[in-house]
Chains A and B, each alone.
Chain A
Amino acid sequence: MFLITCPFCGEREQSEFKAGGEAHIIRPKQPTELSDDEWAEYLFMRKNIKGVQLERWNHANGCRKWFNAVRDTNNDEIKAIYKMGEKPPSI
């Protein structure tokens, strides 16, 4: 079980958090104008990266805040944490 540093609460056990999947998939502002393919792309298609991935986490059993993490999915090492709305740090 890895440790995650919540930007609001500090370092906590991963089990306090809920994973939210790939980050920076922005919900289309005008969904009705997308084709079925484009909508499916938003809805279901994922990079599912093996390596360094930008992803969303929620401190579900804590402050309930969402934030982003940079994590290496090969070994679950968290490289950086950044808040929602912030640009990902370059790793």
Chain B
Amino acid sequence: MKNKYSIFSLIKNAFSYHENWGKAWKDPVPKKEYDAVIIGGGGHGLATAYYLAKKHNMKNIAVVEKGWIGGGNTGRNTTIIRSNYLWDASAGLYDHALKLWEGLSQEINYNVMFSQRGVMNLAHNLQDIRDLKRRTHANRLNGIDAVYLSTEEVKKFCPIINTSPNIRYPVLGGTLQRRAGTARHDAVAWGYARGADEMGVDIIQNCEVKGIKRNGDEVEGIETTKGFIKTKKVGVVAAGHSSVLANMAGLRLPLESKPLQALVSEPVKPIIDTVVMSNAVHAYVSQSDKGELVIGAGTDDYVSYSQKGSHDIVEGTLNAILELYPIFSRMRMLRQWGGIVDICPDASPIISKTTVKGLYFNCGWGTGGFKATPGSGDLFAHTIANDEPHKLNAAFNLNRFVSGDLVDEHGAAAVAH
């Protein structure tokens, strides 16, 4: 293994003033042909390549990325990881990912700082209570750790929440998944990239896909700004731009791409030691290792690729934050930004074959894809390698929109993120 990372290698390199560290990944010129090409160098795409090489022994593969790896939603999200989903299919998918998170730093020898500080979801009305209890019971029976908390227990776990009964939407209870938490988003992309690169995967940045070439019902290759690349298998993992790529292949997807915004405060000493999410009072917050409060806002309702959302959404989010945490009023917003999220009608992802042989899509993660990164990559790799979904992603096929067998995490009142 090249350049294994550890405290010892750090000390060793300190003596040479860190001038001997090698490249985390190369910068290759694309080959003429690959056994498979992954479009999209975000966390999911890089993880897909990593597992294709690692578990399916596909080494002659490439990841093509329009900009720089991890520059899309991977580097823009609020890094929440949890698996307490309602439906069996979702629970299976996200808990598979969570289990991979638990050993990921060691697996890829890159500290992704997965911090199991717990995720709380708050209830603010009687239906929230019913929904959260329903979900907690389902989680428990699916082997996912989750407990229901009374208002007092919520307060005890996170003392800074305003649990006064006199606020506009009082906290009536909540759930806690202790195995849930946060991770360092950039590290996930970089770590998988380094791991994939080491196994021979070509990571090609600044390479935009301009067309997907079909021969009848089969994929032949892709046109890129760095020339034509021949391949029989194309996995598209392009988040907000999935529809754009689908259109290149003459397909339509049940997706809408919308702005999602987030913001961080200036860094402060530790003040909140868990992740708290509220669906009814739309606010979720955690604190990064650096000390910034990391706050997720909602989506706008219109399609946009501008990576900008409306100010009202951000303002509304901060309204909610101050409702639940009035002590944060004097904290300052340091940065705000937007991403483009592709949302399915049932708020569940698509990890699926398509009607075109050799063309696979992994998309529709909406506002919550980061948490699934390792699982999504693993299952998508399986689907591409075997031309057949794994049982854990079988439900997330494209045909569900025809049959009506949706995985409705939306309507089922699971939280949106």
A interface vs B, CB < 8 Å?
Answer: 1-2, 14-15, 18-19, 21-22, 36-37, 39-41, 43-50, 53, 55, 71, 73-76
Contact = CB atoms under 8 A, between A and B. Distances in A.
A46 B257 CA distance: 10
Contact of A46 (B243, B308, B310, B402): B243
A44 B342 CA distance: 13
16 contacts: A1-B312, A2-B310, A14-B302, A43-B401, A44-B345, A44-B401, A45-B253, A46-B253, A47-B243, A47-B247, A48-B255, A48-B257, A50-B305, A55-B303, A71-B302, A76-B308
Interface in B246-265: 247, 252-257
A53 B303 contact: yes
Contacts of A22: 303
A41 B253 CA distance: 9
B303 A1 contact: no
A19 B312 contact: no
Binding site secondary structure of chain A: mixed
Contacts of A47: 243, 247, 252
Contacts of B254: 40, 44-46
Given A15-B312, A36-B403, A40-B402, A46 B252 contact: yes
A1 B308 CA distance: 9
A70 to B, nearest CB: 13
A19 B310 contact: no
Contacts of B304: 73, 76
A42 B342 CA distance: 18
Contacts of A21: 256, 303
B305 A74 contact: yes
Contact of B303 (A15, A18, A39, A49): A49
Contacts of B257: 48, 50, 73
A52 to B, nearest CB: 12
Contacts of A43: 345, 401
Nearest to B251: A45
A55 B300 CA distance: 15
B289 interface: no
B401 A40 contact: yes
Contacts of A53: 303
B244 interface: yes
A72 B257 CA distance: 13
Contacts of B243: 46-50
B311 A1 contact: yes
Contacts of B402: 36-37, 39-40
B241 interface: yes
B104 to A, nearest CB: 32
Given A45-B401, A47-B243, A48-B243, 12 more contacts: A14-B302, A21-B256, A40-B402, A44-B345, A45-B253, A46-B255, A47-B252, A48-B255, A48-B256, A49-B243, A73-B257, A73-B305
